[in-house]
Amino acid sequence: MTARSFSYAPAVLVALCITPAAGPGPDIDPAWLHFDASAKTARFQLIAGLTGLNGALNFNGFRDGGLTLVVPAGWQTEIDFRNHDGMLPHSAAVIAPQTPLPVQTVAPAIPRAFTLRLTEGLVSEATDTMRFTAHPAGEYLIFCGVPGHGAEGMWIRFRVSATAEAPALLATPATH
């Protein structure tokens, strides 16, 4: 294998990681995730109410865990939040998985992994950036903290992986 052909390997890996699973559902936009493997940084665009799915109670058009953001453990992570919903305020926090899902705001499971106005939510087109270290390894939820929103399906999965070599977006079975 030449150095030139080897340089395409990371692009192929990323393309495979962001390819949605077969079946109906929203498409994963590769522009949502950027990373620098040498600097161990990941940046994800989290869009509340991107589509009308679930009464706009969705992140990036996914609900009930239908999208998983995977980040290697120890990486510096930025989640750029934007509320695209023209009607309702929304927020986001990385929380521990819970059954049943909470109907009220809960404390973030990772320090600094939450937006401003977690309970009240940010108004339409408002933005905030969560900056944190993805640690410890484990399974989490990115959950809307506005009371009732997360319990109604406004959450996606967040995996801090001890084995992943690069961040990825994966379509996952929704739990509704």
Per-domain residue ranges of the chain: 3-171
CA 154-157-158 angle, to 5 degrees, is 130
What's the topology of domain 3-171?
Immunoglobulin-like (2.60.40)
Cβ contact 82:47 at 8 Å: yes
pLDDT value of position 14:
43
Could you list the beta-strand ranges (E) of 19-92: 33-36, 41-48, 67-72, 76-83
Average pLDDT over residues 91-113: 97
pLDDT value of position 13:
43
- pLDDT band at residue 15 using 50, 70 and 90 as cut-offs: very low
* pLDDT of 143 strictly over 60: yes
pLDDT averaged over every residue in the chain: 90
For residue 30, say if its preceding peptide bond is cis, omega within 30 degrees of 0.
no
Handedness of CA 5, 20, 154, 103 (dihedral sign): negative
